[in-house]
Structures are given as structure tokens and as C-alpha cells.
Amino acid sequence: MLAATKVDVAVFGASAVIVLAGAIGVVISANPVHAALSLVMTLFGVAVLFVAQEAHFLAAVQVIVYAGAIVVLFLFVIMLLGVDRRENVAREELRGQRPIAFLLGIATIAEFVLLTRGTSWVTGAESVVGPASGPGANVETLARSLFTRYLLAFEITSVLLVIAVVGAVVLARRPPPERPEEPEPLAVPERLHTPQLDDAAPVPATEVPAP
């Protein structure tokens, strides 16, 4: 275990301030775009923390995937829905949500405390710790398992992306209008010469084909 140098402490302190400032910004900004940009700040701060831990790959993924792709996606959605649509946070949509959230939060903390008190629940293979760099490093091992053991899983994820694209188009586009020019033909008994309309039919009640 290496002792933390002054530089380490300084880097940690600076990025911790950035992370927390961003997180608070996400919660308190009234404008959703500002909230999304504060999120970028938090994610960058976390990336710096990863670099400090020598997890360079994770830091790069953090910036590229989270700060790059996901926040941009958030911004797209915010722009699509309209920036000026403010939500009244004071009003509770689900009644009783807040006390329940409070209780569940307490329960979660209690669970963590219980877990750290050490139980003999965990069974199975021992944990594996890989070196951070050099041969057999975490990143390399990850890459290896993606292209060997989990090759099929890795590849069929692409099917999910195709579905996401097609699904987004299907759900986002305006449905084609109903064709009113084609009324449903009515089966009218032969002996009855005054045709009647089905009350549920959504067609205008003027033109009815004679039997």
C-alpha cells in the first residue's frame, strides 16, 4: 500500500469538490439543460478520480460513454420535450412516496451496515484481483473475455441496437391517419330493405351499400 502523497490528496480534494458541486448542481438547477451540464461536470470529476487510481481505461470510458454519449442523449430528450417545461417539484405525484423513500433509504443503509459486520454468506470462487497494468491487466483481460468467452454475447448486443433504432422510429413517428374513404360493408339481412348502421362503426352514416 503506497502512502498518499500531497499531490494525491490535492487531486482527490479538487476532483471531490468538482464531483459534489456538479451533483448539487444537478439537483438544484431549475433549468434541465443546466442540470445536464452539471452532470457532465460530475462525470469529469469521477474520470479524474479514476485516473488518480490508475484506471485509465475506465476514465476514458467514463468520458467517452457517459459524458459524451449519454449526456448528449439526455440533452436531445430535453430539447425534444421542450426546455421551458418546468416541473413543480413541490407537488407529489405519488402520494406517500417521500416517507416510503425515506424508510427504504434507511433500510438500505441498515443492509450495508449488516453486510460490513461480516456474514459467512458468500460462497463459491474466491475473488480475483488483477494488476492495473502490464500483461494480464484488467483491461486486457476484459478485452480477451469479450472476444473469446463472451464473443456471442458481445455480438448479439448489436441486434439490440438495431431494435433500438427501429423501435425509436416506430414510436416517435406520427401514426398514419385512418382512412375514412373505405367504410365497412354492412351485412344486412336480405328481407330487410332499410339498412341500419352499427352504432360502433366510426364511419359517417350517409352512404351504405344497398344489399
- In this chain, which stretch among 6-14, 48-56, 84-92, 135-143 interacts with other proteins, using CB under 8 A? 135-143
Tally Cβ neighbours within 10 Å of residue 60: 14
What b-and-e string marks burial along 16-41, b requiring 16 or more CB atoms within 10 Å of the CB? eebbeebbebbeeeeebeebbbbbbb
174 lies in the site for other proteins, by CB under 8 A = yes
5 or 116: whose CB is closer to other proteins? 116
Q: Give the span between the Cα atoms of 150 and 77, in whole angstroms.
A: 32
Does the protein bind other proteins through residue 157 (CB under 8 A)? Answer: yes
Q: CB 132: neighbour CB atoms within 10 A? A: 13
Report in angstroms how near the CB of residue 100 gets to other proteins at its nearest.
Answer: 16
Taking the C-alpha atoms of residue 71 and residue 62, their distance in angstroms, rounded to an integer, is 11
Q: What are the residues whose beta carbons fall under 8 Å from the beta carbon of 94, sequence distance 6 or more?
A: none
Q: Which of 30, 80, 94, 122 binds other proteins (CB under 8 A)?
A: 122
The residue from 148, 204, 206, 210 that contacts other proteins (CB under 8 A) is 148
User: CB of 184 within 8 A of CB of 201?
Assistant: yes
140 lines the binding site for other proteins (CB under 8 A): yes
Considering only residues 186-205, where is the footprint of other proteins by CB under 8 A?
186-189, 192, 195-198, 200-202
Binding test (CB under 8 A) with other proteins, winner from 185, 193, 206, 210: 185
What is the Cα–Cα distance from 96 to 67, expressed in whole angstroms? Answer: 34
Residues that bind other proteins in the complex, under the rule CB under 8 A: 119-125, 133-136, 140, 144, 147-153, 156-157, 159-160, 162-164, 166-167, 169-171, 173-179, 184-189, 192, 195-198, 200-202
